[in-house]
Amino acid sequence: MAKPVIGLSTYLEPSVRWGVWDLPAAVLPAGYHRLVQHAGGLATLLPPDDPEQARAAVALVDGLVISGGPDVEPVRYGAEPHPQTGPAYRERDAWELALIEAALATGTPLLGICRGMQLLNVVLGGTLMQHLPESVGHDGHCGPPGVFEHHEVKPVPGTRLSEVLPEAMTVPTYHHQAVERLGRGLLASAHAEDGTLEAVELSDGSGFVLAVQWHPEAGEDLRLMEALVAAAQSL
């Protein structure tokens, strides 16, 4: 049986250096494609493109991962920028929002990671908390620049996530924003000890639509990606 193709959204950076070159490039940490490969899928990268092409791109893959990255521009959910909110990446925002909409419309299995979870929430009309430490009173969700923090998350019993990850677990994390108001049709499926929402899924259970706030590509647990690959394989 052929391996299912899993599309991974990427960064589009104005300057990336390799060898003697310093050029614009579409890039993604290798942990993402390695996680797909180790989970039994065939990874392919989906760099930012015209949002009108999102449906065509999603048609080429069996499953979709919206990867982590910079803050979502607050205008996308009707808010003014917080002083701690990062610069806008409008091209990437538009592309990934369109990819999510296409996946939802076509029933393509979808896994959101960190920023990907936040974008899924925004697509469905939810809002984001722009600087989490102001609400939880600590920096435990984000380590020093370039260093993952770790904390425990607890799946909500009876959710799809709890079928994949039935027990509390310690996860790699790096985010200073989080879901505030849940989007339409989304169900909270995991929390951190401080109450931060750590995973969401479609409440009606239709298809495979799951998103987590942590970074499975920075760890060794394959179960989330294996679940996506299995859902993609079954189509």
Q: Are 60 and 52 in contact (CB under 8 A)?
A: no
Regarding pTM above 0.95, the answer is: yes
With CA atoms as reference, report the closest residue to 112 among 49, 181, 197, 37. 197
**Of 73, 114, 176, 201, catalytic:** 114
> How far is CA 231 from each of CA 67, 114, 115, 227, rounded to the nearest angstrom?
18, 20, 22, 6
Task: Name the CATH architecture for the domain at 5-233.
Answer: 3-Layer(aba) Sandwich (3.40)
**Of 141, 175, 176, 215, catalytic:** 215
Q: Annotated catalytic, 180? A: no
The residues spanned by each domain of the chain are: 5-233
**Of 96, 198, 201, 217, catalytic:** 217
Q: Annotated catalytic, 215? A: yes
The CA-to-CA distance between both ends of the chain, in Å, stands at: 13
Q: Are 61 and 7 in contact (CB under 8 A)?
A: yes
Q: Annotated catalytic, 217? A: yes
**pLDDT tens-place values along the chain, 235 residues long:** 899 999 999 999 999 999 999 999 999 999 999 999 999 999 999 999 999 999 999 999 999 999 999 999 999 999 999 999 999 999 999 999 999 999 999 999 999 999 999 999 999 999 999 999 999 999 999 999 999 999 999 999 999 999 999 999 999 999 999 999 999 999 999 999 999 999 999 999 889 999 999 999 999 999 999 999 999 999 8
Measured torsion, CA atoms of residues 37, 95, 28, 127, in degrees rounded to the nearest 10: -100
